[in-house]
Every structure is written in structure tokens, then in C-alpha cells.
Structure 1
Amino acid sequence: MSKQFVYKLFVTLSFALFASSLTFAQAPGTAGTISGTVTDPNGAVVSSATVNIKNAVTGFERTATTDGEGNYRFNNVPPNNYQIKVLASGFQDAAQNVVVRNSVPIQVPFSLAVSGNIANVTVNADAIIVENIPTTHTDVDQSQLRRLPLASPGNGLSDAVTLTSPGVVADSNGFFHPLGDHAQTQISLDNQPITDQQSKAFSTQLPVNAIQSLEVITGATPAEFGDKSSLVINATTRSGINSAKPFGSFTSTVGRFRTFQEEGTFGFGNAKFGNFTAVNFERSNRFLDSPEFVNLHDNGNSIGIFNRFDYSPTEKDSFHFNLFLARNKFEIANTFDQEALGQDQRQRVKSINIAPGYVHIFIASTVLTVNPYYRLDQMNYYPSANPFSDQTQTISQQRRLANAGIRADVAYVKGIHNIKIGGQFQRTFLNEGFQFGITDAGFNPLCFDADGEPVEGTTCGAGTTLNEGFLPGLLSFDLTRGGRLFAFNGRATIKQEAVFAQDSMNFKNGLAVSLGLRFDNYNGLSRGKSLQPRLGVSYLFKPTKTVIR
């Protein structure tokens, strides 16, 4: 299957999703929607009532006001447990607990009692609702992300995951790794799977101020997540839909090593549509981890723009469109010796991510989610202008990695069952080029003189000793001996398909069980098929509110 065909397929699906949403409101991906009607004891609607949704652990909180028909609605609610509280003049406060696990809409109606009645209702707004699910995970909300000391330029997401999630460590340049694995991580961004390494040296990371919540999964991973599953970051981005008024922010920070960061956000919308934009710019004299105690040739900057557009014309269908553009540009840090030679190696990474999504509600318990996507990372590594300033070799590299695919699933909720069945189709187009040449005459000499020093040139004279470790295949690429640069150019297409089925069951006695089965087919640099059963169990001890997984 050609790259042009997959690209045309992606564009066609994106247009079809957009067109269908115009003719047919629901949150994308795993985020949920909570709505309901507030009434009085006689069944008459209560307008202008204040409805608040909150999770006291993560800090997630939103407030809405009922309309003229007594209705309220919360879109783009991250998976978690919440308390909903209703306040209205002349009525007693009321509250209910609700659990959001997928995109199936949840109806939470309220019938308010008139204030002044004998019965009194006490509502604890900060009550902690224990989340009883089998996956080992950490929930992080935007309110927590704003308070984190993000210290690595261009690596804010890595910092956030490392600082909030146990069993996750960072390497010297800040990229996160799960316990026992190297970079075996996946980001599910509004249901878009991203499994390519997100280190700032190879790609760009989504800015933290564009994220509404993170669910960092480190154990009992559900079957919907495959490929790299040692660490799964289920991310929900911020949205402007259902905003009561425009909102935004701007911050500017200054740190050591002449580190400056400017970031801004702006969102607006109503019940039908919304738009959210996040812009970030960072620069530092210590962009990478320095090999010395002082920073030598270590300047860099990062810029990123994220935009999410939502359109929700009816209660049956919704559409969202994510666009992310970013660029990292930095110098490769030098040692003292490299600085003395005038080494001036640099690197640039450019990324573009396009991800529309469509959600259709068949009935109240059944929801279809479709997410086509296209992502491109382009990396260029530049050598010094003087090749002999790079020792012992001069190297340049050009890499272009593009992903195009589609993910779809059907979610069904009935009784204790929370079922999801779906599949994924993806093509990865990899173009790789690199060049290198030997710049040190002592790296691969033909012979040595009487003092054991390497002899320059391509012949050995009298009094010299042959180098037993000489590699004749490298002679053509030895620039000190009149050679030329070695050049490699290659390309490959990696084909991946997957199907999965899972069921999360919550029993009244506090037992929760997650069952799943996933099949992956991989055909790329190697070939393989994998059938993966998934099982997770948790139990809630209600007297102490303790969950064992």
C-alpha cells in the first residue's frame, strides 16, 4: 500500500467525519459527558441552578448553570470519580457521586427538596471518592500540572509524568522511562495512539498547558492499548466547548542558565462549538544535559502551538480537530576538548500532528468513536562547518518518520459491564539518511612509526609497523587520507493492525475485574503476531476506603 494512498485515505476520512458532524454532542476519546435536569418536588424544572462537578484528589472542578429548561451539561470530563453538587435558591443542596470511564454519556438528574423542610442534608464538597478500577495508575489534573516545577526545556510532559508517577524515572535529558523498560511508552492523546519515542532529541512533546488531565497507567493495562504498553499516558486535552465566557492565561518565567519561558492559552465557545489554543516558547543556555560542570555550546529553544476545535451540533454526534505544530532547535553540548577544537554540531526537530475525531451515540448505552490521525517528525543533525572540528568522526543525519492511521471502537455499558470493542490500522513511513567521515588520522591508520605514532597517508615506508587492527573498508571514508563521506539513504514502510475486546466489571461487593484480549500484527523491519490476554483485579474495602489491585 503506497504512502500516497494512505494519505488520501486519511484526508478522505477526515473530510467525511467533518461532513457527518455537520449534519448530525459528546466528548472525544475516553473523556466523558455528564448531563441532567434539575427539578423541584413537583417535577417543574429549576433554572439558574448552580451545578458543580469536582474530584477532590486531582483538583478537577467545573461549574455550570442550568438553562431555562433546567438542563446542565459537562463535556470533556476525564475518566475518574466525581461528586456533583447542585445549589439553587429556595432549595436544599443536593449531591451525587458519578464514575466516568469512557465516552458513553451519563445522565444524572436531580430532584431538589424545598429548603425549610424538617430533613437536613449535609453535603461535603471535599469528600474523597475512591476510584476502584484494576489498572495501576496515577491521575493528574491541570490544577496539579500548573503547580509542578517543570525544569527541562522542551520536556514539560516528561517532567510532569516523572514527578507525579511512582516507578517512572528520567534520563539525563529528562525523557521518562517506566520501571524495567527503556522508552516502552505510549501516549493516547484524545484517543490517538502515539508510540514513537517522545524525547526532545527525536520529536517534540505536547505542551503541558494544553492538557486537561493525565491518567498514567503502569500496571494491568487494558486491551485497548497495545504496541508499547509498559507505561501508557491517557491524555485529555483542554477544550473551549460549553464555556460560559472566554478564558485565557499568560505566564513568563525566568530561571538559571538564562532560561526563559513564555506560554499563553486562550479558549472560548458555547454549547455548540469551542476552540482552545495553547502557545509555548522556551529558550535556555542549558537545553541538553551538559557533559561538563559549565555549559559549553548548549543553547537551544523550543516553540509549540496546539489548537483544538470542537463542534457539537446535536446531542447525538460531535466532532473535534486537534492540530499541533512544534519545533526544537538546539546546539549539541561540548566537552572542553570539543570546545577547544571549535566543534559546532546542531540539531533541529520539526513536528506536525493532525488528529480529527468523531463520536456518535446510537443509544444511551452505546457509543461509536472514530479517530483518524497523521503525525510527522522530521529530524536533522548538522555537523560542524569545518569537518575536522568534529573528532574523531564528522556525522550528519536526516530522519523523516510519518504515521498515518485510524482507530475506532464501540463502547457499551449495561449493568456491571463496561464493554469496548475496536481496532487500529496504521502505516509508518520511515526515511533515513546519514553521512560520516573519519577526521582523526589516528583512528584507522595503516601503520605506526618507530615511536608508535600513527603514520599519515596511504602508504607505509621503511621503519614503520603495520597496524594489525587496520580496517581497509574504512579507508575510502577517511577524510585525513583523501577519502570521501560515506552516505546512506534508506526507507521502509511498517504495517500494523490490531483488534481488541475488553470488559470492565464492577460488582456491588467491592470487587472489580478487567478482562481483555488483543491481537497485534506487525510487518516492518521484522515480522510478528501477538495474541495478548489482559487481566486485572481490584477490591475495595469500604470501611477503610482502601483499594487493593
Structure 2
Amino acid sequence: MQKFFAVVFLLLCSTCALAQVDSGELRVRVLDPSGAGVKVTAQLTNKGSGYSNTVTTDPSGAVGIQRLAYGRYLINIDGQGFDPVSQVVEVRSAIPVDLTIKLKVAPVTTEVTVNNAATLIDPDRPNSVMQIGEQQIDQRLGSLPGRSVQDLVNTQPGWLYEGNAVLHPRGSEYQTQFVIDGVPLTDNRSPAFGPEIEADSAESMNIYTAGIPAEYGRKMGGVVELNTKQQADQGLHGQAVLSGGSYDSASGYAQAQYVWGKNSFGGSADGSRTGHYLNPVVPENYTNNGTTGDFSTQYERNFTDNDRLILGVRHELARYEIPNELIQQQAGQLQNSDNFETMGTVSYQHVFSADMVGNLSGMVRNNANNFYSNTDSTPIIVSQHNYFNEGYFKGTISIHHRNQEWKAGVESDNTFLNEDYSHIITNPDDFDPSTPQTFSFTGNRPDLEQAAFVEDLIRLGNWTLSAGLRWDHYQLLLNQNHFSPRVAISRYFQSANLVAHISYDNVFQTPSFENILLSSSPDVAALNDNFLRLPVEPSKANYYEGGITKGFSDKLRLDVNVYRRDERQFADDDQLFSTGVSFPIAFDKAIIYGAEGKLDLVHWNNLSGYVSYSYMVGNAWFPVTGGLFLGDDAGDAESQLTGHFPVSQDQRSTLRTRFQYQIIPRIWAAAGADYGTGLPFEFQGTEEDALAQYGPQVVDRLNFDRGRIKPMLSVNASLGADLYTNDKMTVHLQADGENLNNRLNVIDFAGLFSGNAIGPARSYFLRLSTSF
């Protein structure tokens, strides 16, 4: 019945643009010398983030631009017969910024100085935020279906892949939060767990790993804000993208938006298929086909200048096979999985005054994940049918007072979990003789979470202070409350064009709910007489960061950060036997520290690009304080009470680079590389066992003496061309080559699913994009 009402509500409501955390709105009105509105084209840019947007005012001279990340923007207006205008405008709060520009009649000769350096760094930002702009999104390397957004995030320092595009920010496991147009999604969004939103639908991305606003909670390893594309101009606008390449990969994406008067209606759809959906466990890439699909619509109505309503709906699906090991392939095993998600959101914004704005928003979501095995599966036949229904509500109010930006709010997230798991053992030799041949479990329980927050952004000359306090309540297996103070401070040194910043985040992170009911159920006693079942504790951590951002003229920007994370109840995951079914666990504590640097060449003649380096050391300490352990594992968990070990994301050095050169106005070329020193691994068997399961090519990439995977390296190159362009349409073609050195890059060993993950071999992709 709950599922029925959720679906009904989705149909009555509809993904939308909920209020972003650190974003606002710019309302521009352009007047002629007599004070009458004039229709002109305006370009808004931020050189530091790569944001660029061209809009046209309506006949009254007005245009509104939403979802702008906090910062400085340069607006350029060049109206025929008028003197060109170039002006810097600041967006600092959720309260809309009203900007009126009065044009002057152009003289015979006009000279305009455009100061792009003013937007290269943000002197009033107290924290470190990595930003990805529309150009970087549109000209990104080609991706296999299901991971285009994750691939973009993985280009940033501090982020690291494990198998199957599971992102790990600064060593955190399953603690990444995606925020899509203001909608927080705190469950696992990797290709194996949740359908993704295609990167072609994104206009910009903001990425936090420290100095995180108090408005965010629950999953705090890293926060990824994704703003989908929007049009402020009247009429019909859209985009169509066709792409394909290696591994029989093909995909299509289409998006359109029609704006009339105070209304806007849009929709998007995409579909893809590939022979390389997950990372295979052996180079032969056995059983790895996958298909995805996505459909969304949204409607926006501005009743007045002070009242806005947005409704939307999104449906996503993915179907894919689970890669086999050599032994499983020889046995004829076929395991596959699918997941479906339907989400509806509604948002209402009211501007009370020039200094106060309020927002109410809500979301309902149904997510289902299924796992199937054929009768030839070995050593176990698994069946799993899990789903959850989620209802989310949030209310915020933002107030501007002199040099302060206040924001306060409440949120409630109620998720109703349903789990249905069963297995049949087909190879008893791989299990303890007392293990039952069959097992099944069904369970359901609500996960109830509420929060409230207040934060203030204060500007005092060259100093900026952000201070916030968040309260969280979590009730699932445990009932806990927590207060989280957060502070970020920056100082701008104008003569050096440098911002120095420090931040402290106290965070409360709820555990992953993937199979959490199974792992905590007394039913597992039937699997083994010796078992350890402990409630999975939420993580509590202190994050510290210090760093600088320095601009060099208007061409170069350098970001350097050092950090440390002290975490209790460090979240991780484990597997039930060899099924690939994971459940959450937690270690007593973890200490993670490191340094990151990124040098952005924004533009120098025809060259642009970046080089980044990350150094990270992470260790976790026994004992295990949560999860499910059976047989010998239970004994080990009970006896292993001291000592530490490297966390599974402990890749000491990671280097990434990509540079682009504009050969002629319509043709560009790019080249880059990714390098990593390799992750640690722990394999229970011998080297001979590894050879039997994975083959000599994989084993050759392992250093069993050090317990680490050998370094990985992937070289890539791209070529892009604007085939056709005018005021109304642009057609762009891009060709990508990845892992051109054709190295067998082992990402994980003894990791997710069958215990291994191998990166793609040499691959090629083509993408044809048309915008109108």
C-alpha cells in the first residue's frame, strides 16, 4: 500500500530545481538611455569555475539566471548602437540579486576593457570547492554507459575510483552524496547500485570535501552538487547527442525546453547499451552487457517576481550482467541485476523582501534493486529483491543583513526499507560442513532521519567567516542524536591575489542501508553456530583542512590543500560468503591525511588545461564494531581487537593531467594521462589460487610481497571540431582515445562482486552533439 501511494504521489507531483545550498539567482534588467527596456544579448562568465552562459533579455529588458554558485561573475552586454558594458557582479546568497544596467549611445569609436582576472579566484569564499564548468563537461573524455558523471568527479584531486565506478573522497567508503538540482541522494549511486543522470544534462558541478555547509548531512565524505541545464531565453531550445565506440557501446541523449511568458516546460530522455558495463574481473571481459534508460520532465511557473513553483518527475533504469571469474565462466554461471528508480519533486520559493527568501521542497522516490542467478552459478545461487520508498521534506529561509548571510532550515527523510534475500549452495566444498544448503530472509523497517541547521556567512573586509551548527537524529537499528559545529575562515591578500583558508567540520554520517536488515537479523544464526552480529554504528568524524588559492594574472590558478580526518566507527562494507551481496560494517577508528594540489591553466593563447596531484595515507584500527560475521570470520572479529591496516583506498600518489590546444577556431586537440601508485589488497588464498581464478595477466599486475597492486597508467587523447555553427545551432564532433598505452590496469583486487576489477583496455569513442 505504501508503494501504491508513493507512485500516486509521483504522478500527481512531478526532477525539479530545488534550492541549491551555495547558489543564488541573478535578475538583470537592461534599459536604454530613456529608461525603456531593450532586448539585448548578455554573456555571463566565471573564469575560475569555467561557467559561461549567453542569454537574451525579453522586450522589457529583463532576464533571470538561476542556480549560480556563489562567486563573482562578469557580465558583458553588447547591444547594437549602444556602448558595450562589462561589469562584475557578486552572488552571495539564495536571495536574488537585482542588477539594472543603463546603456549609453555608442560614440564613433569605443574601447572596452574586460577584466576576466576579477573572476579567476573568489576572494570571499571561506572554503575550498572544486568546480566543473559547461565547457569541461561538454568536451570531457568519452565514458562507458552508467558512469559519465562519476568519471567527471574522478578527475578532481582527492577522489578515487574503486571497482565499478564507486567514488571514494579522501578515503571514505560509501559516504558520497549527490545533490541533483537540490535533491540530496545519499544512497550508493555507482553503476552497480543506482542509475545515473547523464553528464550531458549537467550545466555545472560543485564538489566539496571540506568546509561543507551545515545544510548538508548524513553522507559527508564528499558532496557533489550537479545543476542540470536550463534556458532563460524565450522559445524552444535543446540538445541531441549520439555517441558510440569500443565494447559495442552506443548511447543517445535528447533534451528540449520551451519557455513562454512566465512558464517553462522541458524534458529529456537517454538510452545506452554496452558490452563493458561493470569492471570485469578477468581480461576476457566475460558476461558484462548492460543497458540503461532515463526519462524526465519538469514544469516551472513564475506566478510573480516573488513566487515560483517547480514540478518534475524522473524515471531511470539499468539492466546488466555480473562479470564472471574463469571458474564461474567454465561452469556456465550467469548472474544479472537490474535497478529501477522513479522520483518526483516539488519546490515553492517565495521572496518576502529584498533581504529574505523562503523555500519549501519535497521529494518522493521508489528505488528497486534485483539480483538473479542461473542454476549453473557456483558456488552459490543468489536471489535478491530489495526496494525502498523514500519521502523527503525540506524548508529553508535565507536572510541578508548588512554584511551577513543567514540561512536556517529543517529537513526530514523517511525511508521504508524492504529486503528479500535467498541462496542455494551449489558447491558445498567451499563452505563449512555445518552450513545449511539453503537460506532465505525477508524484512522491512523504516529509516527515520530528521535534521535542523543554522549558518551564517560574514564578510569583514578581507576576512570571510562561515559558521554553522547542525542537529541530526537517526533511528533505524539505533536511535542517536548529534550536534555538528562547522567553521571555515578565509583571508584575501589582494596584493598577492591569494586567498588563504582553514576549515573544521564535525560530521555525523549514517551507515549505508544496503542489506542492513539482513546483517542485523537474528535469522543469520541459522547460517553458522558461530556468528557475531553487532549494530552498525553511525560514523562521527572531525575534518581539518588548510589551504591557499592563488591567481596569476588571468591565466593561472593554483589550489593547494592539506587535510586530516579523524573518524570513529569508520564505515566500510563486507560480503556475505562469495555472493557479491554487500552489507555495512564499521571499524573502531580511522586516520586519513594527505595533501592535494591543482594547477589550472585557464587560458594562455590557445592552450588550456590542468595538472593535479594527490597524496593520501589512510589507516583503520580494529576491532570491527558493526556488521555480520560468520564462522572463522566471527572468531577473527572477536579476537582481533588491536592493530591497524591500510584502508582499501590507500593509494599514496595520484597524478592526473589534461591539456587542450585550439588549433584553429573550430578545431581543438587534447591529451592527458592518469597515474596511480596502486591500492592495497588482502587475498586469503595463495598465488596459485589467484592464477586459477583470474589468470596470469592479472597476477602479473600484483605485488604479493607488498600486498599492493602495481601502478596504473592510462594515456588519452581527443580531437574535436565544430562542424556547423550559427546563432541558432551548433554541431560538434569529438573523437576520444583512452588507455592508448593499452596497459592492463587492475583497479581492485579481492574487491567488489567476484573479487576483482580491471579497467578498460585501449578504447575509442565518437560523440556527435547538436545544440539549438
TM-score range, shorter chain: 0.7 to 0.9
Match of 1:231 among 197, 222, 227: 222
How far did 1:102 drift?
Answer: 3.6
State whether residues 179 and 224 of structure 2, in contact with CA within 8 Å, keep that contact through their aligned partners in structure 1: yes
**Post-superposition CA distance 1:226-263 (Å, at most 9, x none):** 111221112222234x3233222222222211111222
Q: 1:8 to 1:495 in 2, by over 3 A?
A: farther
The structural deviation recorded for 1:14 is 5.4
Q: What is the CA–CA distance in structure 2 between the aligned matches of 1:229 and 1:411, rounded to whole Å?
A: 23
Between 116-125 and 332-341, the greater mean CA deviation after superposition: 116-125
Q: TM-score, normalised by structure 2?
A: 0.61
In the TM superposition, what are the counterparts of 1:305-324 in structure 2 within 5 Å? 305-324=295-314
Residues 1:426 and 1:12: Cα distance change in structure 2 (over 3 Å): farther
Q: SS in structure 2 opposite 1:442?
A: helix
2:36 to 45, 55, 65: 45
Deviation readout 1:438-492 (Å, 9 max, x if unpaired): 1114235xxxxxxxxxxxxxxxxxxxxxxxx642xx2xx32xxxxxx31100011
For the residue of structure 2 that corresponds to 1:313, the secondary structure is: strand
1:500 matched residue in structure 2: 453
2:323 is aligned with 1:371: no
C-alpha distance in structure 1 between counterparts of 2:469 and 2:349, whole Å: 24
Structure 1 pair 63–250 and aligned structure 2 pair: CA distance change class (3 A): closer
User: Does residue 345 of structure 2 align to residue 358 of structure 1?
Assistant: no
**In structure 2, what is the equivalent of residue 185 of structure 1?**
176
CA pair 69-442 structure 1, distance change in 2 beyond 3 A: closer
Give the 3 Å change call, closer, same or farther, for CA 54–296 of structure 1 in structure 2: same
Higher strand share: 2
Tell me which of 399, 410, 413 is aligned to 1:412: 399
| Structure 1 residue aligned with 2:571 | none
Alignment gaps of 5+ in structure 2: 502-772
Q: Match for 1:272 among 262, 275, 292? A: 262
The aligned runs of 1:155-170 (5 Å cut-off) are 155-163=147-155, 165-170=156-161
Equivalences for residues 30-429 of structure 1 within 5 A:
30=21, 31-40=23-32, 44-116=35-107, 121-124=112-115, 128-131=119-122, 132-163=124-155, 165-240=156-231, 242-384=232-374, 386=375, 389-429=376-416
What is residue 449 of structure 1 aligned with on the other side?
none
Instruction: Identify which range, 347-356 or 73-82, moves more after superposition.
Output: 73-82
SS at match of 2:451: strand
> 2:423: which partner in 1?
436
| Structure 1 residues 372 and 111: alpha-carbon distance in aligned structure 2, compared to 1, 3 A threshold | same
- Counterparts of 2:239 and 2:10 in 1: how far apart (Å)? 33
Q: 1:180 to 1:368 in 2, by over 3 A?
A: same
For residue 283 of structure 2, what is the amino acid of its counterpart?
F
Secondary structure of the residue that 2:305 maps to in structure 1?
A: coil
Shift of 1:431: 0.3
Q: Deviations over 1:242-290 (max 9, x none)?
A: 3233222222222211111222222221341112322221211111111
Structure 1 unaligned regions, length at least 5: 19-25, 445-468, 479-484
Q: Report the Cα offset of residue 382 of structure 1.
A: 0.4
Counterpart residue type for residue 278 of structure 2:
L
1:120 shift after superposition:
5.8
Q: Which amino acid aligns with 1:526?
A: L
Q: 8 Å contact 2:18–2:361 — kept in the other structure? A: no
SS in 2 for 1:109: strand
Specify whether residues 505 and 3 from structure 1 end up closer, same or farther in structure 2 by C-alpha distance, changes over 3 A only: farther
State the shift of 1:406 in Å. Answer: 0.2
In structure 2, distance between residues paired with 1:174 and 1:48: 46
* Aligned partners of 2:18 and 2:346 also within 8 Å: no
The farther-off stretch of 93-102 and 494-503 is 93-102
Residue in 2 aligned with 1:545?
497
Deviation at 1:101, TM superposition (A): 3.8
Partner deviation per Cα, 1:263-320 (whole Å, 9 max, x = no partner):
2222221341112322221211111111111111111111112322211121111111
Give the TM-score normalised by structure 1: 0.84
Q: Distance in 1 between matches of 2:334 and 2:239?
A: 38
Pick the aligned partner of 1:519 from 456, 463, 471.
Answer: 471
Query: Displacement, 1:48?
Result: 2.5
String of CA shifts for 1:343-387, please: whole Å, max 9, x gaps. 011101111111111111111111111110012210110011x2x
Residue of structure 2 in register with 1:461 after alignment:
none
In structure 2, C-alpha distance between the alignment counterparts of 1:407 and 1:276, rounded to whole Å = 24
Distance 2:171 2:235 in 1: 46
The secondary structure found in structure 1 opposite 2:151 is helix
Read off the aligned partner of 1:390 and give its amino acid letter.
S
Larger CA deviation: 201-210 vs 29-38: 29-38
Give 1 or 2 for the bigger CA radius of gyration.
1
Other structure's SS at 2:429 match:
coil
Question: CA contact under 8 A between 2:177 and 2:219: conserved in structure 1?
Answer: yes
C-alpha distance in structure 2 between counterparts of 1:123 and 1:323, whole Å: 41
Identity over the aligned pairs, expressed in percent? 23
Quote the Cα distance in structure 2 between the aligned partners of 1:90 and 1:225.
Answer: 48
Q: Give the Cα–Cα distance (whole angstroms) in 2 for the partners of residues 244 and 497 of structure 1.
A: 40
Shift of 1:189: 2.2
Shift of 1:125: 5.8
Distance 1:8 1:331 in 2: 28
| 8 Å contact from structure 2 (residues 13, 344) kept in 1 | no
Contact 2:18 2:347 in 1 (8 A): no
Distance 1:541 1:495, change over 3 A: same
Q: Secondary structure at the match of 1:312?
A: strand
Name the structure 2 match of 1:447.
Answer: none
